Each structure stands twice: as C-alpha cells, then as structure tokens.
Chains A and B, each alone.
Chain A
C-alpha cells in the first residue's frame, strides 16, 4: 500500500456514506415539533386551570421532564431519538433523558460511585457552561446596569 495519510483520507471519505442530512433534519423537525406541541398543550391545560403564565411555565417544564424520564425508563425515548436526533436532544425532555439514562446504566456500580457519580456524565457540560454563561450574563447586566 503506497498511499500517504492525505491520499488515504480522501479515499476513505469518498467510500464512507454521509448521514442522510435532509431526512434527519425532517425527522428532527417533525418529532421535535411534536414534543413542543405537547408542551404547548400541557401549558394551555395549566393556564386553563387558572395558573398564571409563570406558574404554568414551571409546571410545564416539570411535566415534560417527567415525561422524558418516564419514556427513558421504558426504553422508548432512545427508539424515538434514533429517528429524531436533535429533535429529541434539544427539548427539555432530552435533558431528562441525558440524566436518567446514565442513572439507569451505572447503578450496577453502586448508588454512590456508580449512579450518583455518573449522573451528570452527559448533561454535566450543559450545566457547567449553561450556568457559567448565566453568571457572565448576570455580571454584565449588573455592570452595564440593565
């Protein structure tokens, strides 16, 4: 075999099929949209029962996280995600999936060093950078005097 690494890279990239982007994006839009529609219905339900918008938003988030966790526990969320991709990762249900799935997976190593220690193995970066960004935003707002 007389190929350089660059020549080989061109060859294997040519031989490697790409992900079906258009199909993936369509499914992400349809399923992600469906999850958001469910969220809107839940929110409307709470508002219809007399909650104010802030209370209804919090209750909706709690309900959606519960549903995401439930579907993860039933091994249905991963089956949905196989087609939906970003459509199931981006909504708050995806965050529930990212927390609950390691909890289920690593409980075989014990409740402390297994489940608890690995709980944030996927969602950890989202929390670290999400909270960091909110702190920076808060400080900027404080200094600029928003």
Chain B
C-alpha cells in the first residue's frame, strides 16, 4: 500500500515497475538532438489519417501498442489505460483507445499529463486496483495550432517566449514487478496562479508550480537535488527553466548540477522553436524515449520527472483569466 509522507508525497511500499516504454514522434522532433532515441520517427505527419486530430490519435494508439509489445504483452493483458492530450474533451486519447476494449481513464493535465498518468498509474498498482496498465500522452503541432492559435497557413509571428507544440507521443507500461526501473514516489501538485495572462509565455505561468512541487518533494522525502542523477521538468522551455532555477535559488535550493527541461532537450537551437518544446507529447516522448532508456541501461539511477501543465483554454484567456500552472512529479529509481 502507498503511504503518504510529509505534506504531499506518496511513497510506494512496493514500487511499481516500468516494464517498457515507447515514443513516436514527428519529423521535426526526429531531426532534433534526441532523434536517435525515439522508436519511430514518422515522416508522414498525417499518420495516414484524413484529419490532424485523427493523426494524433493514430500516433498515440501506435505508441501504446508498441510499448505493450516491447513489454512482451498484449493489449488485453492490461487492466486499464490512462491517457491524455491537449484536444478539447480529450478526444485524441479517447479515439486512440476506443478499439482497445479496455477500461479507460482520460486525463487532462496539459503538459503535465504524462507525469500525472505515471503517478496515478503507480498509485493504482501499488494500491492493488490494477495489475498492469498503460499511461500515455500525446500532442500534435497541427491539431494544437488550430485549436489554440491560428490556421497553419495563416501568416502570424510568434514572440521569443512562445513554445512549439511537439508532434509526439509517449507511453509506459506499469506493473507490480518485472523490471528494475521503479516508480518509488509520486506527488500531485497544487495549482499555482501567479497572474500570468500571456499564452505565449507559458513557461512563466508554469515555473512557480514546478518550484512549489519540487520544494514539497525535497522536504517530504528529506532529499536534496544532488541526491538525484537528473531532475527533469516538462515543459518549461528556456524562459520557464531559467525562472525555476531562480525561484528555487531564492529559497536556497540549487538544482543546476542535475537539472534539464524536456522542452529544452527536444529541439536544437537551430530548429526555430523559440523558447523550446511544449505539449503533452514533449515530456512524454523525452521520458519514454530517452530517459527511461538511459535508466534501463544503467546510465541513470535516480530521476525526478516533474511534468508541468499550463491550465487555460482559449475561452478563459479571451475572458481575461490568468493561467494557473500545475506540476505533478514522480521519482524513478533503478533498483539494484
């Protein structure tokens, strides 16, 4: 059974294992510095579908299938799927798993969805409510643009603080045991609203929530940044990551020796993504493609994955509401 420690953190008594993970990305993401780590780089951004929404669903569906296959399982072996995306009513994930004939829980945590799914999945498994499950998240540049911003062919300009929604999906299969990489702790964060209203500056909107969740995690577990090989946020990008470091430093915590941000890792500086990547699929693909692979190979032993989401909608922004950030985190550890 999971046990609560400190104010917010959940410690898993029998840390659930990550049996396998998979990541499928678009062409631009494949050309980035992490391109070699992804299972599939699709040259067809339509994924053989007639709409961008269906393309995203197809990408997520293939990613879940691939992760299940890599775990040596079949889809029917799972007890449930936890998945989320950025589309209205979470339709990208619903359509991805409608033919899976499995219990399904749609999640919305904006870019924090992958961390939310892993944390909830681990809690379900450690609590005995599920034996094996898949957690997944996806985003597609073209489906996000048309929902949140402008048509693709519209001639607009982005400010330097804007982030680029990744065309990417990641999925992880969690189970009671069976592999060395485990989820040892999880923490669900509170929404922190510091009054940012600029949808082109989501890093600034999310950084305070990442600061809040990480500080609680360090305090609850009695650890400090250097106890971890890597601390990854997803996806604060350049502006938000810089702010997070500054905010934590004000409180006497220095994460710089071990800190990276998924949004900053996914693209190269020459790829013209302004502040960096974003979207549920960005951190999902970086964690499920790159980081979990490194843990599997023993290159990383103890990692914090803190997913950060900007909670807003085009309607809320037009009505003048500010953007709250939320950050959920999991501690991943490679057991000896």
Contacts and interface: CB of A to CB of B under 8 A. Distances in A.
B152 A15 contact: no
A5 interface: yes
Interface residues of A, number: 38
Contacts, number: 101
Interface in A1-39: 1-3, 5, 8-9, 11-12, 15-20, 24
Would you call the interface of chain A mostly helix, strand, loop, or mixed? helix
Contacts of B212: 1
B51 A1 contact: no
Nearest to A20: B160
Interface string A80-112: 111011001100001001101110111010000
A77 B194 contact: no
Contact of A78 (B153, B239, B242): B153
A98 B154 contact: yes
B154 A97 contact: yes
B151 A5 contact: no
B151 A106 contact: yes
Interface of A: 1-3, 5, 8-9, 11-12, 15-20, 24, 72-73, 75, 77-78, 80-82, 84-85, 88-89, 94, 97-98, 100-102, 104-106, 108, 122
Interface of B: 50-52, 146, 150-157, 159-161, 194-196, 201, 204, 207-208, 211-212, 215, 239, 242-243, 246-247, 250-251
Given A15-B242, A82-B157, 18 more contacts: A1-B212, A3-B208, A8-B195, A9-B194, A12-B201, A12-B207, A15-B243, A15-B246, A16-B204, A19-B160, A72-B153, A78-B152, A81-B156, A85-B157, A105-B153, A105-B154, A108-B50, A122-B151
